[in-house]
Amino acid sequence: MAGMVLCEPTELYNILNQFIKCSRLAEPNYLCLLDARIKREYNESHVITAKRALQNDIGEYLRPTSVELESMNYCVVYDGNTDFLGKNSPAIECAKVMAKSSRHPIRILKGGFERFSASYHFFRTKKILWMPQEIENFQPYPVEIIPGLLYMGDSCQASDPEILKDLKIQAHINVSEELSTLFTEENGSLLHIPLPDSNMSALIPYFSESCNFIGSYLASSSPVLVSSRLGISRSSTVIMAFLMYQSRWTLEMAWHHVQKCRNNMRPNRGFVQQLSEWESELYGTTLTDISDPNY
């Protein structure tokens, strides 16, 4: 039995927004998202792509027959507002049944639908049936690095007015040669770092400026988006530099956090070396061994 763990709303948000060439939601063994509320509540509104957890005649929850829980990467269950594991609730009862067939812990959404939808109202829907093509074409949002404040995305997301409005983005760091953004340098809400994604690009001279830029907006609770063309290498490098500076994290700590938020993030080797140098500058010594194959 795999057991159960609580899942913060930001974690589910990032799970929903993983993509490589298309949304990972299109992968059959990626996510099983179950709504354990009553039918009326589910029909009124639910988290995008969620299926309603079914029950038998005596109210026992049933395993979904359309998914292979044994091979599922993520199984997330939610009800109205369960926020801890120490009580019986629809989400807990449903998760107990799912855990019997899963290799990974069943995640229970902390605060349930109420908390998630309060933060991510744009991921609420009444849509029940999804065609495979619709899932493949699902447009992910930037991943959330610091809940409600710091996001990392690609150039398409950075130039999408609906995404920027939904996330309440107030400032933008664009780390790419192309200037595709709705923000401007004239009013101070844009920092453009025009560098290619090359091992030879010197990004470290911009670390202090970008950290101060992000910090100035976060100090007033104004959300910031950091983007690059694919949202994988240059943007993740700037994000990690900020986390190391602001949170006093080592490169290893910042790396694991950003990787958890965006599974396929991957700074090039030149940027990894510059992050190591930044770590030495901040702490007076090198704390992370970047020769590890994982870096």
- Rounded to the nearest integer, the mean pLDDT of the chain is 94
Q: Which residues pair with 34 in a beta bridge?
A: 51, 77
Residue 183 has pLDDT above 90, yes or no: no
Q: Above 80 in pLDDT, residue 182? A: no
Nearest to 24 by CA among 16, 33, 35: 16
More confident position, 71 or 11:
11
Pick the CATH number of 143-283 from 2.40.110.10, 3.60.9.10, 1.20.140.10, 3.90.190.10: 3.90.190.10
The correct CATH number of 4-136 out of 3.40.250.10, 3.40.50.720, 3.30.450.20, 3.30.70.2740 is 3.40.250.10
pLDDT, residue 142, reads 98
| pLDDT at residue 285 greater than cutoff 70 | yes
Q: Which residues contact 100 (CB under 8 A, 6 or more apart)?
A: 1
- Token readout for 134 is 């619709």
The predicted structure's pLDDT at residue 1: 60
Beta bridge pairs of residue 4: 106
Segment 199-216, tens digit of pLDDT: 999 999 999 999 999 999
For 49-98, the pLDDT digits (tens) are 999 999 999 999 999 988 888 899 999 999 999 999 988 899 999 999 99
pLDDT digits (tens, 9 = 90+) for 107-152: 999 999 999 999 999 999 999 988 888 898 899 999 999 999 999 9
What is the model's pLDDT at position 86?
A: 81
Q: Map out the domains of the chain as residue ranges.
A: 4-136, 143-283
